[in-house]
């Protein structure tokens, strides 16, 4: 079920919110149980055949976590259950997400005809697997435990985050599920959350889906053998850069807004990443929950920066390489992750050098502008591999971006064949670039909106009417399209 669909906005959401606040008036535990069941329905509406898989995963990790807690953190028994629990999780993920990739890779290298391998990827499996691995690791390292199965099940399946994150930590959610005030209607939170939901809806339906034809048109045509010219290559790369940002950050805003409506706070997942002045800064701003997970559960266990700069660079590269593979079972994702690992190693080495020989330069406006431009360009280049369906397609686009391809007899053929105007594409990229580089941060907008509706009761009705009308119009606009566009990160 998509957040942008009429079924979600007009049926699922109002029924879920009403039940969440009405049922606890009879018995408080019903609130969490209701939301758990509603979240399972939300998942099953999209993939009913995999609800059992999700439940089995939840039960297994809940029992493994309880065994770790019973054995005691950092004990041999606890370590055994941690290893067993994580191994089962990773095997499950490996089968559904990577089995076909591995078989096809072996067939390509060996020349063997192993036949087609087709396994349907359960939506959100990467997110609910990582969420539960973090729970098991915290149970072992920090003594984390959760005895209420309804709370644990809700922690994993909580519908705003289930499909595309953010990756949640046990400590962020369980105290909220235990807090009695969570189950009491707060009109300030309800209206503020609705406003942020509408903002995310606008990002997705208007901005991301609006520029998508330029990204899809170029990348799809190149995948089928077309050769882009300089303008088309840059337009495709930039269009996808902005499409992905507004699509994913729009989803995150919608998830945060939905949670505010339920008196639940999700961690922020974006913080204006295209304003970053370095790759390190970019990863502090982009998909922050995944960045934190990779840091806490992969980079630091590998040794982090504790064993000298060389080992640090190797650890960064390995972490990002695996982070790329987490996104998808394709070598293009591995290269994307490897590029960011290389970027991070160079960034740390260069930052250390500048701090030693010319620390004042880093505060100069020209240095900062150059740092921003180089960071953004590096990110765009990596996104080409992230979006391309093959190395051939990626290199063809990158080659065209350098201007080395011969001039075509008919310029902009790819865009012309799709009925896309170059001037309109340039305008889209310019507007979205201005919003991404100079626009206000949606996190700050949300906090300010929430503060206003809490302080000024008279503003709530006015804002509620405005954002409800806007949300309804956006959903109806989306429903008139030939097909509903899923969020990009649903594929991961």
Question: ∠ at Cα 300 (295, 304), nearest 5°?
Answer: 105
Q: What residues of the chain score a pLDDT lower than 70?
A: 114, 146, 405-410
Structure tokens at 355: 């701090």
Q: What is the pLDDT of residue 406?
A: 59
As a whole number of Å, the end-to-end CA separation of the chain is 16
Is 327 among the residues known to form the active site? yes
Per-residue pLDDT at 305:
87
pLDDT of residue 400: 95
Instruction: Please give the structure tokens belonging to residue 116.
Output: 């087609």
Q: Specify the pLDDT at position 405.
A: 67
Rg (CA), the chain: 24
Pick the closest to residue 425 from 274, 220, 238 (CA basis): 238
Q: What residues contact residue 282 under an 8 Å CB cut-off, 6+ apart? A: 273, 276, 375, 379
Q: Which of 93, 237, 72, 91 is nearest to 144 (CA)?
A: 72
pLDDT of residue 145: 73
What is the per-residue pLDDT for 142? 83
- Which DSSP string do the residues of 258-303 spell out, in sequence order? HHHHTT--PPP--S-GGG-SSHHHHHHHSSHHHHHHHIIIIITTTT
- What's the confidence (pLDDT) of residue 272? 97
Looking at residue 141, its pLDDT comes to: 87
Q: Are 245 and 181 in contact (CB under 8 A)?
A: no
Which is catalytic among the residues 161, 170, 327, 348? 327
pLDDT at position 315, please?
A: 96
Please give the full DSSP string across 69-80, using - where no structure is assigned: HHH-TTSHHHHH
Residue 177 has a CB neighbour count (10 Å cut-off) of 21
Choose among 226, 281, 258: nearest CA to 446.
258
Residue 70 region by backbone torsions, left for phi larger than 0, else alpha for psi between -120 and 50, else beta: alpha
CA 403 to chain centre: 33
Which helix (H) or strand (E) segment is 101 a member of?
helix 99-110
What is 139-157 written as a DSSP string? HHHH------HHHHHHHHH
């Amino acid at each position: 079920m998509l957040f942008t669909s009429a079924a979600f906005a007009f049926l699922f959401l109002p029924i879920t919110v009403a039940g969440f606040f009405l049922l606890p008036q009879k018995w408080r535990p019903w609130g969490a149980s209701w939301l758990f069941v509603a979240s399972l329905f939300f998942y099953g509406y999209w993939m009913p055949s995999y609800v059992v898989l999700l439940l089995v995963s939840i039960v297994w990790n809940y029992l493994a976590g309880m065994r770790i807690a019973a054995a005691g953190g950092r004990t041999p028994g606890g370590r055994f259950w941690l290893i067993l629990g994580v191994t089962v999780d990773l095997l499950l993920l490996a089968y559904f997400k990577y089995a076909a990739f591995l078989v096809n890779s072996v067939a390509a290298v060996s020349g063997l005809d192993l036949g087609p391998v087709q396994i349907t990827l359960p939506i959100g499996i990467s997110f609910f697997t990582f969420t539960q691995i973090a729970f098991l690791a915290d149970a072992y390292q920090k003594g984390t435990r959760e005895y209420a199965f309804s709370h644990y099940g809700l922690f994993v399946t909580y519908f705003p985050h289930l499909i595309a994150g953010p990756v949640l930590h046990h400590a962020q959610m369980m105290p909220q599920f235990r807090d009695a005030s969570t189950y009491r209607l707060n009109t300030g939170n309800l209206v503020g959350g609705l406003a942020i939901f509408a903002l995310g809806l606008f990002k997705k339906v208007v901005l991301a889906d609006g520029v998508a034809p330029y990204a899809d048109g170029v990348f799809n045509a190149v995948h089928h053998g077309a050769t882009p010219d300089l303008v088309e290559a840059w337009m495709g790369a930039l269009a996808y850069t902005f499409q992905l940002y507004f699509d994913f950050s729009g989803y995150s805003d919608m998830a945060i807004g939905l949670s505010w409506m339920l008196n639940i706070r999700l961690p922020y997942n974006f913080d204006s990443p295209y304003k970053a002045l370095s790759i390190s800064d970019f990863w502090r701003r982009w998909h922050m929950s995944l960045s934190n997970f990779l840091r806490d559960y992969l980079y630091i266990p590998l040794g982090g920066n504790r064993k000298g700069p060389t080992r640090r660079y190797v650890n960064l590269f390995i972490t990002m390489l695996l982070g790329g593979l987490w996104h998808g079972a394709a070598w293009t994702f591995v290269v994307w992750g490897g590029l960011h690992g290389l970027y991070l190693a160079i960034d740390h080495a260069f930052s250390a050098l500048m701090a030693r020989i010319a620390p004042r330069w880093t505060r100069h406006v020209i240095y900062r502008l150059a740092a921003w431009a180089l960071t953004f360009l590096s990110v765009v280049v990596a996104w080409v591999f992230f979006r391309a369906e093959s190395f051939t397609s990626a290199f063809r686009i990158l080659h065209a971006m350098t201007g080395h391809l011969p001039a075509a007899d008919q310029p902009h053929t790819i865009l012309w064949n799709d009925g896309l105007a170059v001037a309109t594409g340039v305008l889209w990229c310019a507007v979205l670039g201005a919003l991404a580089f100079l626009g206000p941060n949606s996190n700050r907008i949300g906090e300010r909106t929430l503060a206003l509706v809490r302080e000024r009761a008279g503003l709530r009705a006015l804002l509620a009417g405005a954002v409800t009308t806007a949300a309804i119009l956006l959903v109806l606009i989306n429903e008139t399209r030939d097909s509903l566009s899923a969020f990009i990160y649903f594929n991961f």
